[in-house]
Amino acid sequence: MPRDKWQERRAQAANRAVRAQRSGTRLDMIESRIEQEIRAAQERGEFDNLPGYGKPLPKDPGYDLDNGTWMANRVLKEAGFVPDWIELRKEIASERDAVRNALEAYRERARTADRSNPADVADLERLESRYVELATAINAKIDQHNSRCPSSQTLTSFVEDATRRWQ
């Protein structure tokens, strides 16, 4: 290459370096201005009445996890994300009482039922099928929940033939 081209390339590189330094200087000026504003607000006492002032920040659950996992969980939590297995767990919790009540209704009726009376037998069969229907439906949700959740969070299924075992 002729000498002029080398000089031209050096000049271009020098110009790029000067531009980069100037933009860095502008950024430093902006950051410096922000820091000045924050310092002035602190001196005026504008941060003194904030909730939790003077107290340590609460530790996030799972803070001891590796940085990537903790940060991902934090971002998801702040965005209002809830894992689907937790939503399913809430749904199961709201339905558990109905299944227990159906089993208890069967047991109460079975205590007083006359098994030679066709009306009592029909009533028991209706209550039994209601319990089995509810237990089967909630067990399907429990199986779905258990396949998605951490192993320490699994739920116990209902015994679908509990009415027969009780007799």
What are the pLDDT digits (tens) for 32-79?
Answer: 788 888 889 888 988 888 888 778 877 766 666 666 777 777 788 889
Q: What is the pTM of this model?
A: 0.55
> What ranges do the domains of the chain cover?
3-58, 84-166
pLDDT tens per residue, range 88-111: 999 999 999 999 999 999 999 999
Q: Specify whether the CB–CB gap between 144 and 98 falls below 8 A.
A: no
- Supply the DSSP symbol for 113: -
**Gap between the Cα atoms of 58 and 145, Å rounded:** 30
State the chain's mean pLDDT as an integer. Answer: 83
Return the closest-CA partner of residue 161 out of 120, 141, 131: 131
Q: For residues 123-136, give the mean pLDDT.
A: 94
Residue 22, CA distances (Å) to 12, 13, 25, 165 in order: 15, 14, 5, 83
Residue keyed to tokens 């200087």: 25
Q: For residues 14-25, give the mean pLDDT.
A: 66
Residue 29, CA distances (Å) to 34, 61, 70 in order: 9, 38, 33
How would DSSP label each residue in 119-138? HHHHHHHHHHHHHHHHHHHH
Q: Specify whether the CB–CB gap between 132 and 163 falls below 8 A.
A: yes
